[in-house]
Amino acid sequence: MPTIKTIYRKKHDKKCWPARDRGLGLKFERTHVCCYIRGVKISIVVPAFNEERLLDASLAKIKSAAGAFKRIGWETELIVCDNNSTDRTAEIARAAGATVVFEPVNQIARARNCGAAAATGDWLVFVDADSHPSAELFEDVAEQIQSGKCFAGGVTVRLDVRHFVAGCITQLWNCASRSLKLLAGSFIFVETAAFRKVGGFSNELFVAEELELSKRLKQFARGQGRGIVILHRHPLVTSARKMRLYTMREHLCYLARVVFSNGRALGSREQAHLWYDGRR
């Protein structure tokens, strides 16, 4: 069971994080001024489909960043879901010390759900295999968990290379994400109990499953006294490879199919080739 321990810090120390007992049966040990929760376990879940080119570097960055949790006494586990890869994805993940699970249906929602099903942590952190979280971002996540004010959250994103069009789209997305509390699939943290209560990601969607999850989490939040937060001080660095691998025409054609099908194209793997044709 998590324990809240109070320790002394100077008042101007930004890492002096408050923690509150919100009916979770937490124990308290008091020494001086500031609180942090002990005994929390974080499960980091990485869905991966044919990611041998980027996975090694991403896992190294994730493991380094996860030191932010360990420094405050939290336990972590790293789970990679091999989503029916045909390359060395699983081998690379095992070599990095990750627990590897297998999802035979090539669908990112199912891959995330499969990883979450194997998780034993109090909180889930979903990170895409082409993304690089920083230690500072994980520190922000820990701060939000300890505040007791949220049960789920996301982060704004920043592309790993400069691209004018993609950069403009990313900035528009960040604004929408913060104002509407929409979670970017590349990085989501959520209390495990809440994730399972709402049913996880929808297996009906091959694209935009994170937006549908955002909707259900916001509905769930109404009776919780806690909400969803979008972090922004330390954006997630994520790959802009889709802009290199696919033409603008391909992107626009897919968007048109989604619009003219009234969203039905989101439930088709064949139409969502930008995510599932294996180009890397």
| Pairing assessment for the beta strands 150-159 and 187-191 based on DSSP bridges | antiparallel
Question: Quick one: 156 and 85 in the same domain?
Answer: yes
Question: Quick one: 19 and 62 in the same domain?
Answer: no
- Per residue in 176-189, pLDDT (tens digit) is 999 999 999 999 99
Question: Quick one: 58 and 108 in the same domain?
Answer: yes
Using alpha carbons, select from 220, 228, 230 the residue that is nearest to residue 150: 228
Residue 17 has pLDDT above 50, yes or no: no
Question: Quick one: 11 and 122 in the same domain?
Answer: no
- Per residue in 110-145, pLDDT (tens digit) is 999 999 999 999 999 999 999 999 999 999 999 999
Using alpha carbons, select from 223, 157, 230 the residue that is nearest to residue 194: 223
pLDDT of residue 18: 43
CA dist 6 and 112 (Å) reads 35
Question: Quick one: 35 and 47 in the same domain?
Answer: no
Question: Quick one: 61 and 1 in the same domain?
Answer: no
Question: Quick one: 2 and 55 in the same domain?
Answer: no
Give the domain range for residue 8.
1-39
| Domain total of the chain | 2
Residue 123 tokens, joined = 């909180």
Domain contains 259:
no
* Long-range Cβ contact pairs of 239-242 (< 8 A, separation 24 or more): 239/54, 239/130, 239/131, 239/159, 239/160, 240/159, 240/160, 240/161, 240/163, 240/166, 241/130, 241/280, 242/274
Using alpha carbons, select from 181, 185, 184, 189 the residue that is nearest to residue 147: 189
Domain contains 176:
yes
Q: Do 142 and 15 contact (CB within 8 A), yes or no?
A: no
Residue type, 138: F
- Per residue in 5-16, pLDDT (tens digit) is 433 333 334 444
Strand order in the sheet with 75-82: 99-102, 75-82, 41-48, 123-127, 187-191, 150-159, 227-238, 131-132
Question: Quick one: 6 and 104 in the same domain?
Answer: no
Domain contains 274:
no
